[in-house]
A and B are shown apart, each in its own frame.
Chain A
Amino acid sequence: SQQGEEDPQALSIQEGENATMNCSYKTSINNLQWYRQNSGRGLVHLILIRSNEREKHSGRLRVTLDTSKKSSSLLITASRAADTASYFCATGERGSTLGRLYFGRGTQLTVWP
């Protein structure tokens, strides 16, 4: 399967704490993207990191990518109750012009006030 695997499957923290989610994948990628999904809703794009990048920041989000280990991590700093959602990593296949994405299983993050 081209799908990635997120770890942990579920994460429960207090507001103000940092949340770290990991993603591993199997294929060669062109890019890796993180998305967020609130229950029963569509997905919202958070951040994209290309295969030649190692780290990227966006607000309270920090993403790292290690292509040698085929893994990525998403760090949310100073979490808020509103960050409660499912977080998915998605990999874009190398060599494809279609831009297909293959999603991991997701991490359910719960932030308690």
Chain B
Amino acid sequence: GAVVSQHPSWVICKSGTSVKIECRSLDFQATTMFWYRQFPKQSLMLMATSNEGSKATYEQGVEKDKFLINHASLTLSTLTVTSAHPEDSSFYICSARDRGQGLEQFFGPGTRLTVL
């Protein structure tokens, strides 16, 4: 149980285009989802927290117009990187939590974004 999927697992795009990444909880209701980015050999940086049906809460320094997050249902959250640039290239990881089931977060396998 507690499986989180991400799609796509990797994507290459041209500078200036937008990319959407999906995060799904497959066997539980994710009342809260989190988006992280990770640079090579570095830690996970929390970007934003989203609760189903409400606006995402962004961490300081994260541009909300650049990284659009939608948590439309209890099993799906999307992250759209708008007008991507090479510096947006990174590993993006989502996690999900069922608020009624404890503090543990369940992580997706990550999406490798490369912007040319």
A and B co-occur in one complex = yes
* Neighbouring A residues of B49 by C-beta, 8 Å: 98, 100
In the assembled complex, how far is the CB of residue A11 from the closest CB belonging to chain B, in whole angstroms? 14
If over half of B's interface residues share one DSSP class (helix, strand or loop), that class is named, otherwise mixed; here it is strand
Contacts of A97 on B, CB cut-off 8 Å?
Answer: 99
Smallest Cβ-Cβ distance to A10: which chain B residue: B41
User: Are A99 and B105 touching (Cβ within 8 A)?
Assistant: yes
B side interface size, CB within 8 A: 29
Q: How far is the CA of A108 from the CA of B41 in the complex (A)?
A: 9
Residues 27-56 of B, flagged 1 when their CB comes within 8 A of A and 0 if not, give: 000001010100001111110010100000
What's the Cα separation between A27 and B18 when bound, in Å? 36
Known: A40-B91, A100-B34, A101-B34. A88 touches B107 (CB 8 A): no
Contact A103 B107 (CB under 8 A): no
A42 touches B46 (CB 8 A): no
- CB of A44 within 8 Å of the partner chain: yes
Which B residues form the contact surface with A (CB < 8 A)?
4, 6, 32, 34, 36, 41-46, 49, 51, 57, 91, 93, 95, 97, 99, 102-110, 112
Residues of A whose CB lies within 8 Å of any CB of B are 3, 30-31, 33, 35, 40-45, 48, 88, 92, 97-106, 108
A-B contact pairs, 13 of them (CB 8 A): A3-B43, A33-B104, A41-B110, A42-B108, A43-B93, A43-B95, A44-B107, A48-B104, A92-B103, A103-B43, A103-B45, A103-B46, A105-B43
